[in-house]
Amino acid sequence: MEKTHKGKIDVIYIDPPYNTGAKDFIYDDTYVETTDGFNHSKWLSFMNNRLKIAKMLLKPSGVIFLSIDDNEMAQLKLLCEEIFGANNFVGVILWKKKTNGNNMGWLPPVHDYILCFSKSIDYIFDMGFEVSKEEIEKKYKNPDNDPRGPWTTTDLSANHKGPDFAITNPANGDVFYPPEGRYWVFNEQEVLKRIADGRIIFGKNGTDRPVQKVFLNNRTLSKRKAESWWDEHGLNADATQELKNIFGVAKVFTHPKPTKLIQDILKMSCDKKATILDFFAGSGTTGHAVMKLNAEDCGLRRFILCTNNENNICKDVTYERLKRVIEKEKYVESLKYYKIDYIPISDRLYYEYADELLLHIRELVELENGIDFINNSEVAIILTEKEADDYINRLNKDSDCKIIYLGHDILLSGEQAEKVRKLNIKINNIPDYYYRELEG
Ligand X SMILES: C[S@@+](CC[C@H](N)C(=O)[O-])C[C@H]1O[C@@H](n2cnc3c(N)ncnc32)[C@H](O)[C@@H]1O
- Touching ligand X, residues 263-292 (CB under 6 A): 280, 282-283, 285
Total chain residues near ligand X (CB under 6 A) = 16
User: Binder to ligand X among 98, 213, 255, 360 (CB under 6 A)?
Assistant: 255
Please report how close the Cβ of residue 53 comes to ligand X at its closest, in angstroms. Answer: 12
Phi/psi at 342 (5° precision): -90, 125
Q: Which stretch binds ligand X (CB under 6 A): 106-114, 229-237, 255-263, 383-391?
A: 255-263
20 binds ligand X (CB under 6 A): no
Rounded-to-integer distance, Cα 156 and Cα 167, Å: 11
When the beta carbons of 310 and 409 are compared against ligand X, the nearer one is 310
User: Binder to ligand X among 137, 144, 310, 418 (CB under 6 A)?
Assistant: 310
| Sign of the alpha-carbon torsion through 230, 231, 232, 237 | positive
User: Binder to ligand X among 1, 3, 11, 17 (CB under 6 A)?
Assistant: 17
Which residue number is nearest to ligand X in terms of Cβ? 282
Instruction: Report the chain's C-alpha Rg in angstroms.
Output: 28
User: Binder to ligand X among 120, 308, 369, 399 (CB under 6 A)?
Assistant: 308
Give the largest Cα separation in the chain, rounded: 94
15 binds ligand X (CB under 6 A): yes
- Touching ligand X, residues 106-135 (CB under 6 A): none
Rounded-to-integer distance, Cα 177 and Cα 157, Å: 10
Please report how close the Cβ of residue 290 comes to ligand X at its closest, in angstroms. Answer: 13
209 binds ligand X (CB under 6 A): no
When the beta carbons of 88 and 318 are compared against ligand X, the nearer one is 318
User: Binder to ligand X among 178, 210, 256, 287 (CB under 6 A)?
Assistant: 256
**Binding positions for ligand X, rule: CB under 6 A:** 15-17, 253, 255-257, 280, 282-283, 285, 306-308, 310, 313
